[in-house]
Amino acid sequence: MNTILVAIDFGEASKRALDQARTLAACFGASLDLLCVVQSPFSFPWAPAAPHQELVSLLEPMQRDASQRLKGLLTPDDTATRCAAVVTRIGKPAQEILAYARERGVGIIVMGKDGHGSGTAAASIGSVAYAVAREARCPVLLVPATSD
């Protein structure tokens, strides 16, 4: 396990996932890749009513903001010891997480599970986490928002 991918959406579960990933990285001497997938503004429900150029103008600030927030999560030990990388992508979260994991050949994906309620697996785990866990070619560790 050389590389650990941590999918970050800035929720409590993803912050706990980062803590778990740091522990794994320390145990295995692995590097950390923090990935935030910014949902394309073209996929928003109101997108068809917005001028195309306005949607395009949203992409760079959204990606820059996500990158800055990811960098803010890194500790000095993350960059010095864990060779942490910060990556942002634009698209559908599950698809981009899976694509990145394949491209980099990560050993494990660590991500939060923010699902609420009960019923279908997607509802109880969270639809992005469920899709990643179902389709990933490597192990996936799903971390809840609370330790309850």
pLDDT digits over 75-123, tens only? Answer: 999 988 888 899 999 998 999 999 999 999 999 999 998 754 444 444 4
pLDDT value at residue 87: 96
In the chain, the DSSP E strands lie at 3-7, 31-38, 85-90, 108-113, 140-144
pLDDT band at 47 (very low <50, low <70, confident <90, very high): low
pTM score, two decimals?
Answer: 0.85
45 vs 88, higher pLDDT: 88
User: How high is the mean pLDDT of the chain?
Assistant: 86
Whether the CB-CB separation of 63 and 115 falls below 8 Å is answered with no
The predicted-structure confidence for 129-145, as pLDDT tens digits, reads as follows 999 999 999 999 999 98
Domains along the sequence of the chain with CATH? 3-144 (3.40.50.620)
Q: How far apart are CA 146 and CA 112, in angstroms?
A: 10
pLDDT value at residue 115: 53
Mean pLDDT of 19-26: 96
Q: How far apart are CA 26 and CA 127, in angstroms?
A: 29
pLDDT value at residue 119: 44
For residue 49, is pLDDT > 90? Answer: no
pLDDT value at residue 123: 45
pLDDT value at residue 39: 80
